[in-house]
Amino acid sequence: MKPIDAQLNDHRAKQLQAAKDERSHRYEASMRIIDIAATLVRLSLPFRGHDESQISQNKGTFCEIAQLVAQYDPVLSTHLNKSSQNPKGYPSYLSVQSQNEIISSAASVVFGDIITEINEAKYFAVYMDTTPHESKTDQLSIIIRYVQSNGEIAESLLAMCAACKSDGEHLANYLLSFLAKNHLDVNNIRRQ
């Protein structure tokens, strides 16, 4: 018979290995989920449906594609089964909060890529407009138009926010602040 300290060491080693295996499994599942999200972002498709409950027939593009992939992928299938059996203690990475985090991360990457493209193009045009919102505040949008390195014209909506005031001075100050914050040179504007 093994001494008690050797038995405890063996038990602890098994626990550590199980935790390591679990981390590896969650990592593999999360990579599949992020790939699904990246595909939706690349295709400019919506993530959510109107009802994402278990009984819903249309949970939204993100959840529906994750369920589809899980039918053919044992890693994602096992992951989603574990999360449905223990919803409070095992993350599915499909929740609205997880989707928002993935969308936010993807938006940061895409936004950075667009800013890089604009700087590579050097010259750009700015379009700004305000639209009244049902909350009685004006929504300000900033669109940048530029020529990509392959010669194609691109337009990107880079900002959409509430405009405190919609007079020329406030809009100009907001634009100058936005350009400076995103390292875009105001002297490279060729049309506004």
- Reported confidence tier of residue 85, pLDDT bands at 50, 70, 90: confident
Domain layout of the chain by residue ranges: 4-94, 108-191
Statement: residue 87 has pLDDT above 70: no
CATH of 108-191, one of 2.30.30, 2.10.25, 3.30.1490, 3.10.450: 3.10.450
Per residue in 6-30, pLDDT tens?
777 777 888 888 888 888 888 999 9
Sign of CA dihedral 88, 89, 93, 99: positive
Per residue in 141-156, pLDDT tens?
999 999 988 989 999 9
